[in-house]
Amino acid sequence: MGYGLVSRRPKRADARRNFDALVAAGREMFAEKGAQTSLEDVARRAGVSIATLYRNFPTREDLVEEVHSEEVEALCRAADDVAGREPWEALVVWLHRFVEYIGTKLAFADALNRSTDGFQAGRRAMRAAAGPLLERAQEAGAARREVSIDDVLRMISGISTVEYVDEQQRERVFRVALAGLRAERGSDM
């Protein structure tokens, strides 16, 4: 994986298929039922035995960290994917993807030990991937120069963790945050 993230994904094709099935099932189950999802249910959804699950992920935390790592890697790739767009648009599109990531992460945030090397590597990877998007928007005069990528990620994380009446309200609040990030000369989002 790029951006300094380490995966424990096996090299053998059959083992890799089981590993990938377990991670996909874990992602789905955590999103549906939260971090306390039964590992037996994860194994069943993946179509593997519980022994195969434990061979790949000796602890629940190992599975949670792998799911988190893959989500962060996808988020980092999304920054690469939008980098060719106009600077403000690239930043906004990526921030929308970050909001989706936050929603996924909330499902298992309690089980994720924020002091682990994996979690810290994920934070560094996200800042490294999104930092250039903010810098390009700042250089283009589209984003406020005094904010850092850490400021932006904290702001978006904060507004993403609140319950909203509906998706329209969530989008309005997101747009208000973007308006605060936008440089004074521009107002279209």
Contact 183, 157 (CB under 8 A): no
With left for phi above 0 and alpha for psi between -120 and 50, is residue 116 left, alpha or beta?
Answer: beta
Determine the pLDDT at residue 104. Answer: 65
Q: Which of 29, 40, 92 is nearest to 64 (CA)?
A: 29
Mean pLDDT of 137-141: 97
pLDDT tens, residue by residue, 73-127: 989 999 999 999 999 999 999 999 998 888 666 655 555 556 667 777 888 899 9
- For domain 13-181, the question of CATH label 1.10.357.10 is answered with yes
50-79 residue pLDDT tens: 999 999 999 888 888 888 888 889 899 999
The two structure tokens encoding residue 140: 């283009």
How far apart are alpha carbons 61 and 176 in whole angstroms? Answer: 36
> At what angle are helices 87-106 and 60-82 packed, to 10 degrees?
170
Question: 38 and 67 in contact (C-beta within 8 Å)?
Answer: no
